[in-house]
């Protein structure tokens, strides 16, 4: 691999890791709210959360651009007030990847939360445990298989994100050019097929490693949950 290809790989891993880590607490909170609370418009909120799975990625990227771009509804204030800009930066690529992977993470965690036996939480409460203690010692461990699945699905989706990224932060070498964007770029230039093929092989290997690793971690979490 060339230095440029290694840089693309490292950038992709960084973007996916940051997108996954930042999304996780929000996904847990939203999943618990949708799994346990009843409020007006709940089905609409659930639909909005899952919307990036249905919309074309370029549409999601366009919404991010008009919201968080330097001249966007929120982005203009962030830049003028705090000096923060996500446009044409790897942080913007992480946001795009996080938004696209969020529905997969939230859904896996929500399904896991819905399967938690509430009687175990009630039993802990009768023994004097507070809400935070119940959450950390009962609810969260029972949700762990779903959390692991959601994290790995989000990470894999972030590695493969293309449409929202290129629409929101463009295709800048060394800054926003992740694996999918690099593969696309190399297929458009003469003599770039070999580099594109190498990156395709790396992408397949990373995807397989993510799936296999996720299955292994999920089995470990399930076994630990059942005391095996």
**What's the pLDDT at 226?**
63
User: In terms of residues, how long is the chain?
Assistant: 228
Residue-level pLDDT at 227: 60
Mean pLDDT by 10 residues, the chain (228 residues): 85 94 94 90 91 92 92 89 89 94 94 87 84 86 88 91 92 90 90 89 88 78 65
Please name the residues in contact with 170: beta carbons below 8 A apart, sequence gap of 6 or more. Answer: 88, 176
What angle is formed at CA 122 by the lines to CA 146 and CA 49, rounded to 5 degrees? 35
Name the pTM for this structure: 0.87
Structure tokens that stand for 211 in this block? 């799936």
pLDDT at residue 24, as a whole number: 95
Domain segments of the chain as ranges: 3-55+101-159+172-225
Tell me if 135 sits within 8 A of 53, measured CB to CB: no
Predicted local confidence at residue 44, as pLDDT = 92
In contact, 166 and 228? CB cutoff 8 Å:
no
- Four-way CATH pick for 3-55+101-159+172-225: 1.10.3720.10, 1.25.40.10, 3.90.1150.10, 3.40.630.30: 1.10.3720.10
Question: DSSP code of 55?
Answer: S
pLDDT at 228: 59
């Amino acid at each position: 691999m060339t230095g440029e290809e290694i840089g693309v790989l490292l950038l992709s891993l960084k973007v996916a890791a940051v997108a996954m880590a930042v999304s996780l607490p929000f996904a847990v909170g939203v999943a618990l709210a949708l799994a346990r609370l009843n409020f007006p418009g709940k089905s609409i909120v659930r639909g909005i959360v899952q919307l990036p799975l249905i919309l074309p990625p370029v549409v999601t990227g366009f919404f991010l651009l008009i919201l968080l771009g330097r001249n966007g509804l929120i982005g203009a204030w962030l830049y003028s007030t705090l000096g923060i800009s996500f446009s044409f930066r790897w942080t913007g690529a992480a946001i795009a990847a996080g938004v696209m992977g969020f529905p997969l993470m939230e859904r896996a965690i929500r399904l896991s939360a819905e399967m938690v036996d509430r009687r175990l939480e009630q039993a802990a409460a009768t023994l004097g445990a507070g809400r935070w203690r119940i959450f950390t010692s009962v609810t969260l461990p029972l949700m762990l298989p779903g959390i692991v699945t959601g994290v790995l699905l989000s990470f894999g989706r972030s590695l493969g994100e293309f449409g929202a990224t290129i629409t929101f932060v463009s295709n800048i070498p060394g800054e926003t050019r992740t694996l999918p964007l690099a593969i696309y770029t190399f297929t458009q230039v003469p003599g770039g097929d070999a580099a594109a093929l190498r990156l395709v092989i790396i992408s397949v290997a990373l995807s397989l490693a993510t799936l296999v690793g996720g299955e292994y971690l999920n089995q470990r979490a399930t076994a630990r949950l059942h005391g095996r």
